[in-house]
Amino acid sequence: MSTQSKAKPLFHGPIVRRAVLDAFRKLNPRHVVRNPVMFVVEVGSLLTSILAVLAFSGRLPENPWFILGVSIWLWFTVLFANFAEAMAEGRGKAQADTLRKARRDILAKKLRQPSDHLDFENVPASSLRAGDVVLVHASQLIPGDGEIIEGVASVDESAVTGESAPVIRESGETAAR
């Protein structure tokens, strides 16, 4: 069984398509008001758009092209911020889905007697319950959250914490899958 899943590229097609649509959906003021800075930028975008229309219609003496340029930059700023937020959400959801799938697919070596490391049965990780003791060897995926009873290991918790470097875990510490 492979212990490493292939990382998706930064701009994965389905995530990008969804993020572009979400960037426009997030223009709704009810969403943008949660971020005061972007709310002010969106209000500025709307005002400069109105000023550009007025300038092009001849009701304002200012240069309409300058006002239009400012308006476009402000709209671009709001859309890019929404796109970046939607990309982060999409990647987070994809990562959560991968973790859920891995939890279903991983077999755990559940010890019948915690003192006997040779007496175990292979069970799906999803069937593990609090109090179960499992045996994990080097380079195996940890089948669930739990406390390390015996030994020391370098654990890659990047899928859970985002930390890129493996961390050292030893007896008495909690390991996250």
Q: Which domains does the chain have, with CATH numbers?
A: 13-103 (no CATH), 107-175 (2.70.150.10)
Highest mean pLDDT among 99-108, 113-122, 166-175: 113-122
- In terms of Cα–Cα distance, which of 173, 146, 137, 142 is closest to 159? 142
For the entire predicted model, the pTM comes to: 0.56
Measured distance CA(154)–CA(11) in Å, rounded: 30
Per-residue pLDDT for 162 more than 60?
yes
Measured distance CA(100)–CA(29) in Å, rounded: 34
- pLDDT given at position 171: 78
- Residue 52 sits at φ, ψ, to 5 deg, of -65, -45
- pLDDT given at position 2: 42
pLDDT digits (tens, 9 = 90+) for 62-95: 999 999 999 999 999 999 999 999 888 888 888 7
Q: Are 147 and 153 in contact (CB under 8 A)?
A: no
| Arithmetic mean of pLDDT over the chain | 83
pLDDT digits (tens, 9 = 90+) for 115-124: 887 888 888 8
